[in-house]
Structure 1
Amino acid sequence: MAAPAPSIFGTPPVQPSAFTFGTTTPAATTQPTFGLPTLQNTVFGSTPKPAASSFTFPSFSTPSQPATTSIFGQPPQQQQPQLASFTLGQTPPTFQLGQAQTVQLQQQQQQQQQQIDEAQAFQDSVFKCHKFGDERDCTLASLNYLQACMGAGKGYYSQTQPPVPYTQQNPYYRYKAVGYAFMYTDSNEDGMVVINFKKPQDKVTTEESSIITSIQQLLNRPNILIRFSGTKAVSEEATVAIVFAEDRNTLRRVPATDMSAALCQPHLKTQLENLGVTNVSPKVKPSPEQLKRYLENPPDGIDPRVWSRAQEDNPDSNLMIPIPLVGVDALKSRIEWQEKETLQHHVRLNFIGEEVGSLLNRHANLSAELLQMKRKHILLSHRLISVICRQELMRKQGTSLSQEEDTLRRTLEEMDIELNSPTKYKGRLNELLSQIRLHKSAESRASPRYNVDSGSLISVKDFMAVQQNSVKHLVNTIKSDQEHVKDMYDAVTTTYKLSQ
């Protein structure tokens, strides 16, 4: 299946890898993704909720830096850059402004411990099933493993523990592959922020001014001016918008992480939801260290060998990264994107074809004008030469011929005498013409002595026609030369008389 073309907003079009669905993966204990806990399905500072073996793509942890006062009057958090604008399996983690690092560290440790407990329960439901305490546990374990491979159902494994829900994010889910997504290329100083709206693109475009006014009121910073860079429809009811903020005083853009952190404050959650906002994230290119960490740790459920092979087969490692494709919905979304991008390509190709046709017509018109200009240039050149000759004659009037001119006159006279001499070219041509006439008359009177087939006769006629044309051309050339020589002789004679 072909991949969707790259989007102007960094939406990661995916190119399918050579790895198909149904790849067998070894059992592995679920661990937190890149040191970040899994959050509940919300984006505006909600309390974390443990989830079983979910893969969040892509988020990276960055080393803490000393807090400095941002343009919004609060110490900004180091928000994690994302490689792409979508998340597989859950909503990407949000960043709360103004929380202490110690509280965040404790929350992360608690979430990690909860994830480990859930991962252990998931492993026990497949390998340590003791629901009945007899041979039925083996059958139940096989059923749980089958459900885990299908990514549906619940796994009962203990009389004292609740069942484990199986989702498409579990490591044993078979319908998965590895594709490629484009990375963001913007820097933090560019200030680009991705905002997801649960609205059609036409509605977002119509309400652009009101959305900008509402966001400025929520930030409560009169010196900050919000601007839209562009919008793109993700689906019929979802739109992605790229916005940035500028400082009125310095005319500088607000860093993307500061802008995103300010919009992700918990007390703005309700107001942003009323505007139809579902997610806010900075559009920032990951650092080499973050990218290296991401590539060195395969996602849950992806065989490390497959992950390594996907990195080797990456068509452009500078712009693209491998990502997991989980479930049939991922394939469906790729097909829909492919159809949309193909339609856009056809529209663009039709436009280019019309432009090429217009250019061809213009080229034909210009070629005709150029040919006309060439003919006009030749005529003007001849007129100019004639004027120069007359001017030269008037200038030379009353003066004697120079040595070179006298030599040229004698040469022309000799050529004219030689051409008109009876024993020279003119006489020979007359002789040839008379012989040809004699042969024609003799042939017409004489009876044929032998028979010639039609094919040979046609060949002889063609040859004789060529010879006759050659002779006519030679005669015409000689006559033309005679006229030229005569004109030259008359001109020289006139000049000579005028000079006397």
Structure 2
Amino acid sequence: MLGQPQQQPAPISADEAFAQSILNVSIFGDDRDKIVAKWNYLQATWGTGKMFYSQSAAPVDITPENVMCRFKAIGYSRMPGKDNKLGLVALNFCRELSAVKPHQQQVVQTLHSLFGSKPNMLVHIDSIKELENKKCQMVIYVEEKLQHAPNESKRILATELSNYLNQASLKPQLNNLGIVEALAHVLPDEDQLKEYLENPPRGVDPRMWRQANSDNPDASKLIPVPMVGFSDLKWRVKCQEQETDTHALYMKKIIVKQECTRKVGTSLTPEEEAMRTKLQNMQAVVSAPTQFKGRLSELLSQMRMQRNQFAANGGAEYAIDKEAEDEMKTFLTMQQRAMEVLSETVNKDMKALDVIIKGLPELRQS
């Protein structure tokens, strides 16, 4: 009837629109629609572009996550997270690593204030690394000194720490630091792992996902992860290059130590003799009475005089405020943690080197 508004077509879902743009293109009403459908199919396989299928509908944006994208693969990564008792919480920043790294102490102080600035609560940085898309991640943990045993401390559980930081009242202060989320860095439980393995990610063929689960070389330590598009592949290659550089650095240190041990008792090479001569000349310059050694002796004499003066007056030799003392303790704790991580990494590399040495005869025979 005249005067009645035309009925608008019911909106369809994104998946239905994606299927229509490949199977049912109706723009021109002739053979050109088949050409457009083939073009849409080609765009879907490479994972980018826009697909048009109707004059009255908006185009469909194509992403690499669509089911028809061919640039996909499945790799394996180490099981994420650590024991909840270690208290590790990952803070994801929406800033680059170069912008966050110089202000680590400011982040620690701000977090300490969020915990009430309690003297028995210490915030530590476990690690900081770069993420994709110009972001970075800082892993922290918090130690609480026990009141009945001041020399002992315990770590706050990772789940408790993340729940505290995710409170709505603390969000503005975290956002001022560039922190967009705080996640407990813990191992997934059996139910979470089962749900992840049984449900393939969006755009991944379920058959491919099941095959990846069955081909897992070590299901207790590794999990399958999808790599969608060239950006994910590039990021994975970058992470592998960083790990390779780290291993190469420690291997270099091991080789240097081995070379020093091997050359014990042998005569110096011409290059080493030239370096010894340069070092002796430098030592002669430093040890000259009018140079650095004389100035250091003078400073040492003044310090001894001041020390004797303080002792005679019965006053304290040194005085330091509480904030500076806490900062020094925090810094020394961070250094101790770094040395522990370095020692752990060297031990792991030594074990890997032993495996390589033991496997060399078998490789030579094969």
**Matched residue, 1:172:** 68
Q: How does 1:297-308 map to 2 (within 5 A)?
A: 297-308=199-210
Displacement after TM superposition at 1:211 (Å) = 0.6
Structure 1 vs Structure 2 CA RMSD: 3.0
Amino acid at match of 1:246: E
Distance 1:221 1:121, change over 3 A: farther
Q: How much does 1:284 deviate?
A: 1.0
Q: 2:234 aligns with which of 332, 344, 349?
A: 332
Which residue does the alignment assign to 1:481?
none
Hey, what's the Cα distance between the residues in 1 that align with 2:81 and 2:70?
Answer: 33
The equivalent of 2:159 in structure 1 is: 257
Q: Deviation digits for residues 82-114 of structure 1, max 9, x if unmatched? A: xxxxxxxxxxxxxxxxxxxxxxxxxxxxxxxx9
TM-score (norm 1): 0.45
Change (3 A) 1:302 1:234: closer
Q: Measured at CA, do residues 122 and 235 of structure 1 come closer, stay the same or move farther in structure 2, by a change above 3 Å?
A: closer
Give SS of 2:235's match: helix
Distance (whole Å) between structure 2 residues aligned to residue 236 and residue 119 of structure 1: 27
The answer (yes or no) to whether the contact 1:219–1:263 under 8 Å persists in 2 is no
Question: Paired residue for 1:245?
Answer: 142
Distance 1:199 1:158, change over 3 A: closer
Is the 2:132–2:235 contact (alpha carbons within 8 Å) kept by the matching residues of 1? no
What percentage of residue pairs aligned between the two structures are identical? 36
The 2-side partners of 1:160 and 1:307 are apart by: 37
Q: Name the aligned partner's letter for residue 75 of structure 2.
A: G
**1:150 shift after superposition:** 1.7
Match of 1:314 among 208, 216, 221: 216
CA contact (8 A) 1:219 1:262 kept: no
Structure index of larger Rg: 1
Gaps of 5+ in 2: 1-10, 148-152, 267-366
Amino acid at match of 2:25: C
Give SS of 2:223's match: strand
Deviation at 1:210, TM superposition (A): 1.3
Residue 363 of structure 1 and its aligned partner are, at CA, apart by 9.4
Deviation at 1:157, TM superposition (A): 2.0
Aligned counterparts of 1:118 and 1:247: Cα–Cα separation in 2: 50
Shift in CA distance, 344/252, structure 1 to aligned 2, threshold 3 Å:
closer
Q: Aligned letter for 2:224?
A: P
C-alpha displacement at 1:300, in angstroms?
A: 2.5
Amino acid of the structure 1 residue aligned with 2:217 = P
- Which whole-Å CA distance do the structure 2 matches of 1:236 and 1:185 have between them? 22
Corresponding letter in the other structure for 1:125: S
Q: What is the one-letter code of the residue matched to 2:139?
A: I
SS in structure 2 of the partner of residue 323 of structure 1: strand
Q: How many residues align?
A: 251
Q: Given that residues 188 and 256 in structure 1 are in contact (C-alpha distance below 8 angstroms), is that contact kept between their aligned partners in structure 2?
A: yes
Which residue is 1:156 aligned to? Answer: 52
Q: Distance in 2 between matches of 1:159 and 1:146?
A: 20
- Report 1:58-97 matches (<5 A): none
CA contact (8 A) 2:67 2:205 kept: no
**Cα distance per residue 1:440-487 (max 9 Å; x no partner):** xxxxxxxxxxxxxxxxxxxxxxxxxxxxxxxxxxxxxxxxxxxxxxxx
Q: Which has the higher contact order (CA 8 A, sep 6+)?
A: 1
Cα deviations across residues 230-282 of structure 1 (Å, max 9, x unaligned)? Answer: 22344795432210123455744332223223323445444323312244221
Counterpart of 2:125? Answer: 228
Q: What letter corresponds to residue 143 of structure 2 in structure 1?
A: E
- For structure 1, list consecutive stretches of 5 or more residues without a partner in the other structure: 1-113, 365-500
Change (3 A) 1:224 1:130: farther
Q: Is 2:19 aligned against 1:123? A: yes
- 2-structure distance, mates of 1:241, 1:269: 17
TM-score, reference length from structure 2 = 0.60
**2:281 aligned residue:** none
> Which amino acid in structure 1 is aligned with residue 52 of structure 2?
Y
Q: Label 1:123 to 1:258 Cα distance change in 2 as closer, same or farther (>3 A).
A: farther
Once residues 259 and 136 of structure 1 are traced to their aligned partners in structure 2, the CA distance between those partners, rounded to angstroms, is 60
- Conserved? CA contact 2:92–2:135, under 8 Å: yes
**Relative to 1, partners in 2 of residues 1:351 and 1:151: Cα closer, same or farther, differing over 3 Å?**
same
SS of equivalent to 1:334: helix
Residues 117, 345 of structure 1: CA spacing in aligned structure 2 closer, same or farther, 3 A cutoff?
A: same
